[in-house]
Amino acid sequence: MRRPDLIQLAFESLRLHRLRTGLTLGAIAIGVTAVLLLTALGDAAKGYVVKEFAGVGTNLVIVVPGKVETSGGMPAFGGSTRDLTLEDCDAVLRQSSVVRQVAPFSLGAGAIEYGEKSRDVRVIGTTAPFLDVRKLTISSGQFLPPGDPRQGDRVVVLGQKVARELFQGENPLGRLVRIAQWRFRVIGVLGPKGTSIGIDYDDLILIPVSVGLKMFNQTGLFRIMVEAASPEAVPMALEQVKAVLIARHDDDEDFTLITQDAMLKTFSAVIDALTAGLAGIAAISLAVAGIGIMNVMLVSVSERTGEVGLLKALGARRRQILDVFLVEAMMLSTAGAAVGVAVGVIVILIAAGIWTFIPLKPSPGWIALVITLAVVAGVSFGLMPARRAARLDAAEALRGRH
């Protein structure tokens, strides 16, 4: 039997029951669209996170005070946790061969005032390498000057938004501001960066770390940012930093090292699991649609019992009868999948146009998978009714009995 003939026979039969065909096709299309939309959302969430982490810097190792136990939870409190100090920073930079730069990081919050205006901001205390390590840019003036981290003038670099809202078009360079009642001179403004791992770099200010520690009366650093010589050197840098700090902390590992890679892997794994879960839920609707196909095909077989008997009398073999019904089921599911993909892609593109900050896009991989799934569902749910048709007794079927 020729393939075009099979397709034509199936088409003739599907065309006869337009409503029934349309409804079944719609059920499949809805399932397919659901899978596409949910997986696109999952992919977009992952893309968003990956983009965020890419902005952190791939060579980065972050030192956090306190040991985070493998069971998770808060860093341990108590006497055993030593502060991370500027001396630790020096030691790491001097004693680790694959460490390129180290930037201390202290964190406080206070009001910054200029003239009548005042604004609550985060105050980061750090040193010159921070600009490079955190991949920030300067839009005007300069960043914190290099030099001994234990010394530092009262100078400040403003985030974009802080500068804009406080000075409102006025040139902030060289102006004096008050931060938590301390007077600072503005020496630079950051370029736009936006939010990166929870910190909005447009809405903060940076001052020398020694001034920051003194101002907020802190003895230890919030973080130490360590930049390895290359992404490949990160594992070795981890070992070296660990060894240096353990030696300095009386053989006690009272700190935690975080790499961007590890964070990214954790987040990716969580989002992948979520996406798979969503896809699974959506796939249930495909299975339901598959049962719809089976139902329609069963009705079709019992309506066409006489026709099956006739075809057998005319010399159709079992396999040919099976094929006729199976191709019908496959055409239903394939057409449904095509409609579903078209609708899904259009919806995704429209949504991507509206919410430009989410990297929504149709994924060829998911589309291929969902079409395969739909066709497989068509075949597997169409098989039972088709078998039933193929096995009908010709003589009985001709008499309209089954």
Partner 1 sequence: MSTQNGIVIRLDHVSRVYQVGESEVRALDDVSLDIAAGEFAAIMGPSGSGKSTMLNVLGCLDTPTSGSYVLDGEPVEKLSEDRLAEVRQKKIGFIFQAYHLVGRMTAMRNVELPMIFAGVEPRVRRDKVRAALEAVGLARRMTHRPDQLSGGERQRVAIARAMVMEPRILLADEPTGNLDTRSGEEIVALLERLNAAGLTLVLVTHDPRVAEHSRRVLRMRDGRIVTE
Among the listed residues 265, 246, 235, 318, the one whose alpha carbon sits nearest the alpha carbon of residue 67:
246
Q: What's the per-residue H, E or C state across 342-392?
A: HHHHHHHHHHHHHCCCCCCCCCHHHHHHHHHHHHHHHHHHHHHHHHHHHHC
Contact segment (CB under 8 A) with partner 1 among 86-94, 287-295, 317-325, 370-378 equals 317-325
Shortest distance (Å) from residue 41 CB to partner 1: 43
**Region at 165 (left for phi over 0; alpha for psi -120 to 50; beta for the rest):** alpha
Strand partners of residue 179:
112, 182
Q: Say if CB 64 and CB 255 are below 8 A apart.
A: yes
Q: Say if CB 329 and CB 379 are below 8 A apart.
A: yes
Contact segment (CB under 8 A) with partner 1 among 98-106, 127-135, 301-309, 364-372 equals 301-309
Tell me which residues in 238-277 interact with partner 1 (CB under 8 A).
none
74/314 with CB nearer partner 1: 314
269/313 with CB nearer partner 1: 313
Shortest distance (Å) from residue 347 CB to partner 1: 35
What DSSP character marks residue 170? S
Q: Is 12 in the site for partner 1 (CB under 8 A)?
A: yes
346/395 with CB nearer partner 1: 395
Contact segment (CB under 8 A) with partner 1 among 4-12, 108-116, 213-221, 350-358 equals 4-12
28/297 with CB nearer partner 1: 297
Shortest distance (Å) from residue 26 CB to partner 1: 22
Six token digits for residue 133: 């390590």
CA distance 127 to 144: 6
Shortest distance (Å) from residue 386 CB to partner 1: 16
311/377 with CB nearer partner 1: 311
The residue count for binding partner 1 (CB under 8 A) is 26
16/23 with CB nearer partner 1: 16
Q: Say if CB 65 and CB 252 are below 8 A apart.
A: no
CA distance 260 to 56: 7
Binding site for partner 1 (CB under 8 A): 1-2, 5, 9, 12-13, 15-16, 306-307, 309-320, 394-395, 398-399
